[in-house]
């Protein structure tokens, strides 16, 4: 975990850094909004998990920085650690964005550490709900869906059959990664990917069975969703696609451009399509393991590398 501390005052910045480092938290410190933007946009392994920023900066505000941080990493934790009175902070532009506020000062150093640790551990500021096994789920996605292009061809056959079977306008398999959903095997609809907070599958992978939204315009979670509106879909039905370890890494989705319902029989049948998609994931995972070079002379399926037949 890495905390990015942003404060133009060198003494106050040093005090904040000292408090965080005393709790064992790795910290990067910068003195401006522009420097913080560079740190947030940088590539490499030093990913920022939490932003702790003063509100007042010579080249912008802490809220400007929070908005930029959420564009680059939607689930980054953000703490506005400032002397400014909260009543004097213009939060209207943030909309529904969640940010922790804490009055800056030595008396609040322990509370700051608690806020940082809690926000990062629970992802409490994420703009969308997360499964309890999110880290394991993402690891399974990396393992079993490492080659989306290959999966795309396999899923395309399934989605075409599904669209005809259920008499819907479109079907796809949505792989839900950390911040986006990638759509594979799209039939009847042209979508590459969406921000995770805008997708229905974000909610579908939280469920055990079939998620059906008969009219997306009537569901308060999606009624004002401009991304979904731009695609033109009104009906959604989806079932989680599980990896061999049980992680829900994707959703097998049906779409229609008009509101409609889905019978109990069709819901049961849709589960079979999702199960088949899961089998395709498992098959490709096994093939990938077989293609991985042996390590230390030991094949993946072998025991002692010195054993021989006969």
Is residue 42 over pLDDT 60? yes
For the four alpha carbons of 147, 148, 153 and 157, in that order, the dihedral sign comes to positive
Distance between CA atoms of residues 90 and 82, nearest Å: 14
Distance between CA atoms of residues 258 and 130, nearest Å: 29
From the list 79, 124, 123, 121, the residue with the least C-alpha distance to 102 is 79
What order do you get walking across the sheet with 3-6 strand by strand?
A: 27-30, 3-6, 50-53, 77-82, 100-103
Query: What's the CATH class of domain 134-291?
Result: alpha beta
What 3-state DSSP class applies to 174? strand
Query: What's the CATH class of domain 3-122?
Result: alpha beta
Is residue 295 over pLDDT 80? no
From the list 252, 47, 6, 227, the residue with the least C-alpha distance to 127 is 227
Widest distance between CA atoms in the chain: 83
Is residue 193 over pLDDT 80? yes
Q: Could you tell me the CA-to-CA distances from 112 to 34, 99, 221 in Å, in that order?
A: 24, 13, 32
Average pLDDT along the chain: 86
Is residue 49 over pLDDT 70? yes
Per domain, the residue ranges of the chain are 3-122, 134-291
Q: What percent of the chain has pLDDT over 70?
A: 87
pTM: 0.65
């Amino acid at each position: 975990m890495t905390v990015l501390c942003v404060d133009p005052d060198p003494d106050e910045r040093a005090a904040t850094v000292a408090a965080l480092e005393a709790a064992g938290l790795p910290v990067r410190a910068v003195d401006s909004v522009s420097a913080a933007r560079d740190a947030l946009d940088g590539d490499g392994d030093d990913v920022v998990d939490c932003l702790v920023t003063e509100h007042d900066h010579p080249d912008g505000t802490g809220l400007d920085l929070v908005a930029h941080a959420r564009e680059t990493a939607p689930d980054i934790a953000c703490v506005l650690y400032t002397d400014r009175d909260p009543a004097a902070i213009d939060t209207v532009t943030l909309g529904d964005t969640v940010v922790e506020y804490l009055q800056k000062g030595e008396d609040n150093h322990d509370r700051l550490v608690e806020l940082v640790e809690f926000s990062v551990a629970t992802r409490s500021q994420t703009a969308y709900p997360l499964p309890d096994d999110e880290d394991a789920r993402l690891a399974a996605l990396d393992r079993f869906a490492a080659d989306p292009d290959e999966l795309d061809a396999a899923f395309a056959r399934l989605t075409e059959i599904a669209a005809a079977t259920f008499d819907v306008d479109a079907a796809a398999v949505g792989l839900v990664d950390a911040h986006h959903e990638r759509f594979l095997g799209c039939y009847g609809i042209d979508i590459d990917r969406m921000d995770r907070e805008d997708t229905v599958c974000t909610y579908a992978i939280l469920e055990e069975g079939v998620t059906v939204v008969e009219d997306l315009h009537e569901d308060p979670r999606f009624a004002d969703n401009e991304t979904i509106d731009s695609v033109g879909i009104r009906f959604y039905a989806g079932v989680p696609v599980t990896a061999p370890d049980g992680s829900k890494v994707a959703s097998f989705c049906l779409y229609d451009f008009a509101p409609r319902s889905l019978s109990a029989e069709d819901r049961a049948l849709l589960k079979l399509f999702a199960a088949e998609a899961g089998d395709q994931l498992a098959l490709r995972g096994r093939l990938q393991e077989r293609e991985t070079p042996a390590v230390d002379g030991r094949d993946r399926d072998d025991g002692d590398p010195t054993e021989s037949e006969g």
